Amino acid sequence: MKIEYILSSQIILIAIGKTVGYDFNPILIVDQGTNVMIELSSKHPYCNIQTDRHRIRINLRMADVSKVYRVPETDIMKYVEICKNKTANANLQNIFSFPGTKWCGPGDTAKSNRELGVFFQEDECCREHDSCSRYIDTGVCRGGVCNDSPYTRSHCECDNKFKTCLQNLRSPVGNLIGEIFFNVIGMTCFKEVPPCNVEDPKTRLTITQEYITSYFNVGGLNCSLEFKTTSQFKPKKPYKHSILLSIKRKHLLIIQTLFRKN
């Protein structure tokens, strides 16, 4: 079952609730020893570092079940350094690679196009996005814009398709990947600026040629481009069985808390 896969990758499913932080449901990254926790929020301030173990435990108990992410101690220090340097938007995308996937990160670790990670449905979405044929490489100028970022920019159609793919899964892992890439890191894409050809009236052939040249990433015919920040990721409501499972966990947590007090 999917829940077993989630537990095996240290994504802790605890209870539905709210966390003590800067956003209603921030993403929580915590080390295996529960010594350091980072709250990643889509709102300012971008991240908050917690080292109080008592407060960390409280936050984890009240956390959204789909937004707690366990990492080794060596990895948590990388995230801490990012927060301190306040350069997370540029650096997080370069080091982030979601556990249990082969395609959801900078580059891919798959040995073949058919190889997928444990979270194969989410990995399929990432693999499809990686195969986007409309992109601008680092340091390349095209259509009046230059990609000065350290990573490739994809066409907005590819980014939006990637977002929709994750949303349609309605899974905790898919939602977490979507929120990290679109809400925390923030994905920038490019699109054509209409009209692409301002010298002569467009004919059906001209429009087709422009689309083909853009699709195969070989430039356009007098077609200007612009960068755009992809819209926020909004998770769809989970299926009924997922909601019931989360409610049961919350009730179990309440019972456990009562017994501890006694």
pLDDT tens for the chain, 262 residues long, are 332 333 233 332 222 222 233 344 677 888 989 999 988 764 555 578 899 999 999 988 888 766 788 888 887 887 787 667 644 444 455 455 677 788 987 666 788 889 998 889 999 999 999 989 889 988 999 888 999 987 889 999 999 999 999 999 998 889 888 988 888 778 899 998 877 654 444 444 454 455 555 544 545 546 789 999 989 999 887 665 554 545 445 445 544 544 454 4
Let me know whether 140 and 219 are in one domain. yes
Let me know whether 235 and 136 are in one domain. yes
The enclosing domain of 218 has a CATH number of 1.20.90.10
Let me know whether 72 and 168 are in one domain. no
Residue 129 appears among annotated catalytic residues: yes
CA Rg value for the chain: 21
User: DSSP H helical segments within the chain, as ranges?
Assistant: 2-8, 53-61, 73-85, 88-95, 120-130, 156-169, 172-178, 204-215, 240-261
Q: Is 20 helix (H, G, I), strand (E, B) or coil?
A: coil
In a domain, 68, yes or no: yes
Let me know whether 214 and 136 are in one domain. yes
Let me know whether 64 and 142 are in one domain. no
In a domain, 178, yes or no: yes
Count of structural domains within the chain: 2
Residue of 129, 155, 241, 251 with catalytic role = 129
Let me know whether 78 and 163 are in one domain. no
Domain of 228, in residue numbers? 132-239
